[in-house]
Structure 1
Amino acid sequence: MRRYSVHVKPKSSKQGVHVLEDGTLEVRVHSPPEDGKANAELIETLARHLGVKRRHVSIVSGETARHKIIEVSDV
């Protein structure tokens, strides 16, 4: 399993993943941070970026925060 430190930017005009200097992944999503919409889009965006299926990506901590720890299970 791999773990990633992620900073989420909801309601962004552009969607994408960028690696910051400290190794944190900055993920921009279109969805607002309500009703789990931003988290769902975050998982989908990260899965596509990492080349894995959505079911292999999970939020370990920070469910309601912008800074999250994401775990990607080995395929």
Structure 2
Amino acid sequence: MTKNSLADLAVSGRFLTVRVTPNARSNKVIVENGTIRIGVTVPPADGAANAAVIKLLSKALGVPKSRLTLIKGHKSRDKVIQVD
């Protein structure tokens, strides 16, 4: 899936399931076998990794951070994010 395809997922009301890897070597968003995988360099402490995920995903989707809401998985690697 290309970056343009990721932008196609930025439909209002859509729920995105993502798999997060905190403490990654680099910040990245990849799609592997239909799964969105996000690596962030920050540790999973005090919500820092969640904030980094929202920031990185908003950039990849081409939408403002305010349009993304973490619905499920605040303390898990598997997260559900809604596009508003």
TM value normalised by structure 2: 0.83
Kindly indicate whether residue 39 of structure 2 is the aligned counterpart of residue 43 of structure 1: no
Give the match's secondary structure for 2:52: helix
1:2 equivalent to 2:24? Answer: no
**1:24 Cα deviation after fit:** 1.7
Q: In angstroms, what is the RMSD of aligned CA positions?
A: 0.6
Which of 20, 37, 44 in structure 2 is aligned with 1:33? 44
Gaps of 5+ in 1: none
Shift of residue 29 of structure 1?
0.3
Counterpart of 1:48, as a letter, is: K
Gaps of 5+ in 2: 1-12
Could you list the runs of 4 or more consecutive aligned residues of structure 1 that deviate by over 3 angstroms after TM superposition?
A: none
Choose from 67, 77, 80 the match for 1:56: 67
Taking the aligned partners of 2:31 and 2:16, their CA distance within structure 1 comes to: 11
Structure 2 residue identity aligned to 1:44 = K
TM-score by structure 1 length? 0.92
Number of residue pairs aligned between Structure 1 and Structure 2: 72
